Chains A and B, each alone.
Chain A
Amino acid sequence: MNIFQYEFMQKAFLVGMTLSVIIPMIGLVVVLKRLSMIGDALSHSSLSGVAMGLIFGANPIFFAILASVISALLIEAIRRKLPKYQEVSIAVVMSLGVGLAGVLSGFVKSTTDFNSFLFGSIVSIPDFEVKLVLGVSFFVILAFLFLYRELFLVSFDEQQAKMAGVNVYLVNFIFTILTAVTVSVASRTVGALIVSSLMVIPVICAMQVAKSFRQTLLFSIFFAAIFMSAGLLMSFYLPLKPGGTIVLIAVLVLVMLFFIKRKS
């Protein structure tokens, strides 16, 4: 049986492969800035936007993006105020997002719609959302490539980046927006509870094998694409949910890489 004869699988692979490029791109900087939990915080916050969208009968993704962007800016603001306690900003915003999502979900009429955002619905994406993912991804890739050198410097050392002439505030602001938008569109497809894993695990896997910064980026995308394809294939042939399957495969590969590296 050729799975690509089904339109929904064609769309799932198209969206999955596109997200496999942008999620690890953002993830690489997130990991190097030691803000790995930011994906979790933003995806949980985006759920409050989803709930709001569903309550008001509007497109939940737009509200998710809005909630995620506000949360990301809040994290950045707290991080700047309390530079020694960066993780606190993430915990505070995540608590706020989860709390709001929990309360608002009680007013959502269709729990099925809300649940699809928790674990994703990559195999039932409407055409409009496919276009949205493609459009957002194009914008994220372009911005990332344009800011490649600045993001390298800011991930390396913010103080030195500032002294070298990088507008650290602006770069962090743009990156925060990119992260929020990426997390929001990915939440709809791979699931809010899963997107942060896809942001971090491919990067950690890449760091086990790559020999340079550029290779780490390319390997991160490669691993994400492999996890995404394997997860989609398995969930097609077996009675498994795609989002969870993708993450479980990613964790398994990471454990194997750790094991192989330790052995060698």
Chain B
Amino acid sequence: MEKIIEVLGLSFSYTDEEILKNVSFTVSKGDFLSIIGSNGAGKSTLLKLLLNIIKPQRGAILYFGEDIEKFKGWQKIGYVPQNAILNLDSFPATVLEIATSGLYSQKIGMKERKKIAREYLSKLGVLDLEKSLIGKLSGGQKQRVMLARTLAANPEILILDEPMAGVDQEASQNLYGLLKDLNEKENLTILMVTHDLLRASNFSKRVLCLEEGSLVELDRKQIEHELFHKHKHP
């Protein structure tokens, strides 16, 4: 199966203490992989490395088999940051303006841009809000718009950083279901970073746990054990 991301022996430290220790994993076409971990476990650092914002001390990251430093196909990577919906509160743009801006890299006219954006807004169930100011929407609606914006660019992989931050329980349940559908029905590859083990295990195909800088893949039994332990000692 085509490897979309390969992380090979990645280590990173800001000071003497290593935040990531020899981390390796692969994301293949069609995967729905969740990386879980508590606050300070190194999730944000791992994402910054994956987005080439910071450089590792050791190890390598390959996108489609190409080293991240030489990789030019960032348009194939759909990224929804954690604070995306919080930053939208004061941004004076309509839902449609936000959605069409996601199609920047495509060499098509504005009419076609709007058509594609509307198609994805409709798919995500927010087309009726196209003329609304993004800041007026609820957390769940904003996240749907951000997903529509990202998906409209037709990415090969969706990288989501805490996608349900600021989204209420019911809306996040629906959004997780939607991500699962996109993965299963449209074979969209998803890499999600979250602290929500319960939902990550319910909706994704693989769960990796980042703890004290090391990454381990959890099997069903380990997930159940973790959830039971968490339930008893939340």
Contact = CB atoms under 8 A, between A and B. Distances in A.
Interface of A: 32, 149-150, 152-153, 155-157, 159-166, 206-207, 210-216
B211 interface: no
A212 B93 contact: yes
Given A157-B87, A160-B79, A163-B51, A213 B104 contact: no
B231 to A, nearest CB: 36
B104 A166 contact: yes
Interface string B93-122: 110011001101100000000000000000
Given A159-B79, A212-B97, A213-B92, A164 B102 contact: yes
Contacts of B98: 156
A32 B98 CA distance: 14
Given A159-B79, A162-B74, A212-B97, A32 B91 contact: yes
Contacts of A215: 92
B94 A211 contact: yes
Given A211-B133, A212-B92, A212-B94, A153 B101 contact: yes
A160 B149 CA distance: 11
A206 B53 CA distance: 34
Contacts of A165: 74-75, 104-105
Contacts of A32: 91-92
14 contacts: A152-B93, A152-B97, A157-B81, A159-B81, A163-B75, A164-B102, A165-B104, A211-B94, A211-B131, A211-B133, A212-B92, A213-B92, A214-B97, A216-B92
A156 B102 CA distance: 11
A210 B51 CA distance: 34
Which of B53, B91, B93 gathers the greatest number of chain A CB atoms within 10 Å? Answer: B93
B75 A156 contact: no
B80 to A, nearest CB: 9
A212 B75 contact: no
Of the four ranges (under 10, 10 to 19, 20 to 34, 35 or more), the interface on chain B belongs to 20 to 34
Interface in B5-40: none
Given A157-B81, A159-B81, A165-B105, A213 B94 contact: yes
B158 interface: no
A159 B53 contact: yes
Which of B53, B94, B101 gathers the greatest number of chain A CB atoms within 10 Å? Answer: B101
A5 B131 CA distance: 46
B68 interface: no
A160 B80 CA distance: 8
Nearest to A165: B105
A214 B133 CA distance: 12
A164 B106 CA distance: 9
Which of A164, A165, A210, A213 gathers the greatest number of chain B CB atoms within 10 Å? Answer: A164
Which of A157, A162, A163, A207 gathers the greatest number of chain B CB atoms within 10 Å? Answer: A163
B89 to A, nearest CB: 11
Nearest to A212: B94
Pairs of residues from A and B, 8 with the lowest C-beta to C-beta distance, nearest first: A213-B93, A216-B92, A165-B105, A163-B74, A164-B104, A212-B94, A213-B97, A207-B92
Given A157-B84, A159-B53, 5 more contacts: A159-B81, A163-B75, A164-B75, A166-B104, A212-B133
B61 interface: no
Nearest to B80: A160
B127 to A, nearest CB: 16
Nearest to B92: A216
B12 to A, nearest CB: 18
B104 A153 contact: yes
A156 B87 CA distance: 8
A152 B79 contact: no
B153 interface: yes
A156 B91 contact: yes
B102 to A, nearest CB: 7
